[in-house]
Structures are given as structure tokens and as C-alpha cells.
Amino acid sequence: AAVPSQVVPGADPCARQLCFAWGPAEVLVCETLFGRRGGSPSRGTGGPGRASPPGALTGCVAGSGEAGPSTSRLFVVRKDQDIYIQTLRKLFNESHGIFIGLQRSEEELAGKSRKAQLVQVSKNYRSVIRACMEDMHQAAMSARDPALHSQYSTQVSILSAMELIWNLCEILFVEAAGAGPLLLRLLDWVRLHVCDVDNMVREVLSSENPSKHELFWNVVDVFVLQGRMDEARHLLAKEASANPTSVNMYKILDDLMKKMPVPSLGNTQTLTEMELKWQHWHEECQRYLQDGTFASNSHMESICKILLGDEDAILEKKELMTTWYHFLVTQLLYSHPTVKPMELRMDLFLGGESSPEPLDMILMAAFEFEMHQVIKECSIALSNWWFVAHLTDLLDHCKLLQSHNLYFGSNMREFLLLEYASGLFSHHSLWQLGVDYFDHCPEYGRVYLELHIERIPLNTEQKALKVLRICEQRQMHEQVRSICKIMAMKALRNNRLGSALSWSIRAKDAAFATLISDRFLKDYCERGCFSDLDLIDNLGPSMLLSDRLTFLGKYREFHRLYGEKRFSEAAKLLLMLMTAHIAPCSFWMTLLTDALPLLEQKEVVFSAEQTYELMRCLEDLTAGRSDKKKFQDDDIETVKVEMLRLALARNLARVIVKEGTLEGS
């Protein structure tokens, strides 16, 4: 996308052929042997997903494997570097809450209160940036390692620039106040962000006698340039009391400053009224300047010129403004009301011939109301998607971006949110935040979520449950099945049949439940006893998930009845398992063998009718089998069949006698 070209350290396309695999938030770069040494192409294995070792993902670029002449190296290149900065996690988490709040607030309010709400959201975002900046500053202060210190300091300045841009966008686009109040907001913005002179102001104000301080007039100028009239007048009053001779001159200037018309925040005056007052005041200043009232004091004369919006006079104080945007706002304030940024002599601030800094370009674009340019420049300049994604989303909620559609993907808001959320998903821990962002991307969010969620490593059942909950809440049936299957397979490999079964029950995966049931039955056949009775005895309604599971449950019930010596119930159930075809054919011989001890009981258990049915089952089984193939272990099988036949015949004889006797009596 908009990320400038980056150099992957260590990867040298001249020495080795490189190949690429594009992931959602990462690029896999691997060195190949293709075209060299005449060998066959060697391919990098594993993707940036679940298969790759987590160790290879640390940092922006990581090489893996030992450096040998024949081993190829593997690089994982990430798109969103800032995601991995520990201190910024606070920013990501806290702003996530604000983002969700904004999406939920969906337009219940109209007009003014809606705007107030959006401004509040914007302020909340900024306060998170500021809090993060504060933390980063603390970290920089306490960092002993100089490299670390400078890294933190860089982050502080980036965060500070982000807040500066956001604040300006808030004033110009979100709040979009009318001409008068807009100017007041811009002045606040300048005061908040041009902090270079704050130390000087503090020094002068805290000195014993401020008016004697060598920087006294500088501070007065700073106040005037920033439109802080009351503070400037307060300082001047001190100076005036120290100079009784020129008290009149001070009084006049003080009066001018007091009378300066200030745009009101309320709707109490119309723009025309304001214009009129302004013109009147402007003429008054002009008069005093021309009649030489301030001629004896160059400081006061220059202040008067500033009040008149004299560009040269303002530019003389260039050092006190430090930035072109301060100059712009001051010029706006005093040359009221029409000034265009491009007409300002900003080259004086931008350091001569060199091209302007990205920050300047962004702010300039904002002043020209080029919203898309602001977003574009920010995307290029910043090493994160957080800023553009959240700002664009906010502007979209202000209904400022509706008309703009990209020629790829969906709209810009969604595009940027998808990029940001993909970055979150590439992070081992922040992926949970990404889910909610995808949820609010109507076009592609779902597809992205489906692709990303499958790559989350499931190292504990607890984590799997969390991922599963995300999928279930969104009816992502395919992913639910896949997660449960992965977990069931894991459990099966660990010989945890009970866990495996409960995972497949959760996914309602009948096929897998059948597979596990077969494992239980196989274990039973081999060992002659059931494992995991606590589970099998308590299957409840989930028994109905698969026929085999039903059989397992019922078969276990037969054993319980037998164990409790409830023989006739046991016999009935056993027969039913075969006649109702609940038992798989492969298991019939086992069931018939289980019937043997019942046939040998002192008391007759099977009725005549039941005995005939057992016989038919046995004959069906042997007939069906001998047709197809010869038994492998013929001998044992033949003996078993013979034993069964004998037992059945004897039982039949006994039961006929018994039933005959009963009838006769």
C-alpha cells in the first residue's frame, strides 16, 4: 500500500534469488537456490501462520536457520511496525474502547448534539494519545541505555505530531466551527502545541522584577502573537507603573488591546456586526500608528503594527513563533479575515531550498481542507495504521468521506480499518482487538476475520474457547468446526478420549464422534473394560449426535445392567442393539459373545422368541461373512460360533421346557 520502500537487512538479491509469499500483514521473503549452482529450486517451507515458529516473528525482520553456505535464509517482513511497541499497547487498547463506543453511538442524536458527541469522541482519542505520550516520556526519562532513550524520544515526537495533526483535523473537519469561533480554536491549538517559548515565559514571569528582565518584551510579543491579550496587558501594566513618564502611551495601547473585538463563541453577534466592529477598531489602531503615538517606543510601535496585521512586523518575530502554522494563525487573527496559506511567506520557516517536512505537508493539506491528502500523507509518513484508521473512521462518521470510493476494495475507511486490524492480528496478543474492527467493516470484514482467525495458534483449551466464542457469536460454522476438530485431534493424540468427544459434541461433528466412539469400542475389545466411564455414563442427549455414540452409550448401559445383575433387562437391551441395527455389524460377534454368560445363567434369561432372534442374528452374521471372505483366524471364530450355537440350542431347550411348564400349570 502506501508504505515507502523498505530495505530488508541481510537479504541480498544480488547474491541470491529471492522469492516472496504475501501474507495478510506480513511478507515472507526467502532465499532460493533457483538458477544458481544448477540445482533444483529450493523452496522455503512454512507460512507466516500457525506453522512458523513464534521465535522467527520477533522484531521487524528476523532471519532463521544457521548461516551456512548451503542454507537459505527466511525473512518475515511486517507492514505495521508500531504494533510491536510495548508502550503503544495502551493506545491500541484504550482507543479500541472509544472506537467501539463510536460505532455503537450510531446516529441516535441529530444535529448539534451529534456534533458535540463526535467532538467528544475526537477529544477522547487525543487524550489517549497524550496519556501514551506521557508514559513514553517517563520511559525516556528513566531509560539509562542511550539507544533506548533516543528510541523513546523519537516515539514521543511522533505521538506529539500525531496529536497536533489530529487536533487540527478536529478543529477544521469534526467541529468545523464558523469563522469566528474557528479562529479561537486555532489559537488554542497554537498555544497548546507551540511549547518552545513556554520556558522563556516561565522564566520571565517567575523572575523578581519581570519588567526589568531582558526578555520582557519577547514575552509580551509572544502573548500578543498568540492572541493572549489579558496576559499581555497584565505584563504591560507592570511596565507602565515603572515608567510614569510614558504612562499615557501605555494607556492607549492597553486600551486598544482591550477593545480588540473578539469573535464570540455563542451566536450573540452576527458576522457583519463583528466585521463592523473590527473595521472600526482597525481604523483606530491605524490612526495612533500614523500620528506617531508610539514613535518613542519601538517595542510598542511594533506591537501596534502587529495588531494591524502588518506582515513584515509579524515576520520580524519569526523566532518567537518558531513554526509557520503559528505565523499563519497570527496572521489570520490580525489581518482578519481572509488569508490563504499559500499566500503566506512560509518559505521563511521551511528552511530554504530543502523540501518541506512530511508534518508540514500534512498540516498544509489540512489547512487547504484536502482531507484525503491528509490521510494519504499520514499513511506514508507514519509507521502505523492506527492513526489513519481511527481518524478516517471518525471523519467518516462525520459524513465527510461519503463520496470518495477507491478503485479497489471498498471505501477508504474500510480499507484502512482492514489494514490496521490485520496488523493487530499478526500480533501474538493484540489479535482480540482486531475482531471488533473487522466486525465494523461491512464489505470485507467477515472474510478477513475468517482468514485471520484460523491462524491463531491454539496452545491451551482456554484460548481455543475464546476463539471459538468469537466464531460462534458470528455464526462462522466452518471455523467452529475446524477449531473443534483441531482440538479434538489434539486430545485424541494425547489419549484424552473424553476431551476429544466433548470437543466434537460442541461442534456437533457426527463423523468425528463416530471415530472417537470406535476408539472407545476398540479399547474395550482389547482391554475388556471401558475407560472414561464418567463420560460414557453421562452422555445425556449428546448421545444422539452419532449412531455409533448412541451404540456406545447403550452398550455401556448393557454392562451396567449386567453388573447390577438385572439380567432380563440386559438381555433385552443386548438383543435390541442388534435387531434395531444400532450396533455396527463388525461388533455383532462381540455382542453375541456377551450373550454367552447370559445363556449359561441358572435361571433362563432369554425367552424362546428372543432365543430365535439371537439365532437368526448369528446365522445372518456367519452367512454374510462366509459369502465374502474366509476368516483370517478361522479356528477361533469357528469355535466361537459352535459354542454359541450350542449355548443357544441348550437355552432353547430349557426355555421350551420352562415356558411349557408355565403354560401347563
Partner 1 sequence: AMEDVCAKFVSQKISKARWRPLPAAALQTPDVFATGSWDNEDNRISIWSVGDLGNVGLGGEYQGEPQLLCDIGHNGDVMDMQFLDQERIVVASSTGTVTVFRHHQNNQTLSASQRWEKAHYHVDQDTPCGGAACTGVICNNSEIVTVGEDGRINLFRVDQKDAVRTIDNADSSTLHAVTFLRTTEILTVNSIGQLKIWDLRQQRNEPSQIFSLTGDRVPLHCVDRHPNQQHIVATGGQDGMLSIWDIRQGTMPVSLLNAHEAEMWEVHFHPSNPDHLFTCSEDGSLWHWDTSTDISEKPSFLHQGGRSTTYFSHNTTNQSVISAWLSNDPTKDRMEITNLIPNQTLSVNSLDILGPCLVYGTDAEAIYVNRQLFA
Residues that bind partner 1 (CB under 8 A): 54, 58, 86-87, 89-90, 93-94, 96-97, 100-101, 428-429, 432-433, 436, 459-463, 465-466, 469, 473, 494-499, 502, 505, 531-535, 538-542
What DSSP designation does 138 have? H
Cell of 336: 482578519
CB of 199 or CB of 459, closer to partner 1: 459
Q: How many angstroms separate the CA atoms of 613 and 2, rounded?
A: 78
What DSSP designation does 173 have? I
Cell of 626: 462366509
- Do 129 and 394 touch, CB atoms closer than 8 A? no
CB of 175 or CB of 509, closer to partner 1: 509
Q: Please state the closest distance from residue 497 (CB atom) to partner 1, in A.
A: 7
CB of 324 or CB of 520, closer to partner 1: 520
What DSSP designation does 580 have? T
CB of 36 or CB of 469, closer to partner 1: 469
Q: Residues 6 or more apart from 364 whose CB is under 8 A from it?
A: 341, 356
- Do 313 and 302 touch, CB atoms closer than 8 A? yes
Cell of 207: 523572575
Q: How many angstroms separate the CA atoms of 190 and 370, rounded?
A: 20
Q: Is the dihedral of CA 24, 30, 35, 38 positive or negative?
A: negative
Q: Determine how many CB atoms are found less than 10 A away from the CB of residue 250.
A: 19
Q: Please state the closest distance from residue 496 (CB atom) to partner 1, in A.
A: 7
Q: Please state the closest distance from residue 491 (CB atom) to partner 1, in A.
A: 9
CB of 305 or CB of 427, closer to partner 1: 427
Count the residues in the chain: 665
Write the single-letter amino acid at 126: R
CB of 432 or CB of 579, closer to partner 1: 432
Q: Residues 6 or more apart from 610 whose CB is under 8 A from it?
A: 571, 572, 575
Three-state DSSP state, 79:
coil
Q: Please state the closest distance from residue 534 (CB atom) to partner 1, in A.
A: 6
Cell of 621: 452374521
CB of 89 or CB of 193, closer to partner 1: 89
CB of 248 or CB of 538, closer to partner 1: 538
Q: Please state the closest distance from residue 93 (CB atom) to partner 1, in A.
A: 5
Phi-psi region of 19 (alpha: psi -120 to 50; beta: other; left: phi over 0): beta
Q: Please state the closest distance from residue 560 (CB atom) to partner 1, in A.
A: 14
- Do 44 and 72 touch, CB atoms closer than 8 A? yes
Q: Please state the closest distance from residue 471 (CB atom) to partner 1, in A.
A: 12
Q: How many angstroms separate the CA atoms of 210 and 219, rounded?
A: 10
Q: Please state the closest distance from residue 583 (CB atom) to partner 1, in A.
A: 23
CB of 187 or CB of 545, closer to partner 1: 545
CB of 94 or CB of 316, closer to partner 1: 94
Q: Please state the closest distance from residue 88 (CB atom) to partner 1, in A.
A: 9
Phi, psi angle pair for 161, to nearest 5°: -65, -40
Q: Residues 6 or more apart from 427 whose CB is under 8 A from it?
A: 83, 84
Q: Please state the closest distance from residue 54 (CB atom) to partner 1, in A.
A: 7
If we measure between CA atoms, which residue out of 390, 423, 430 comes closest to residue 93?
430
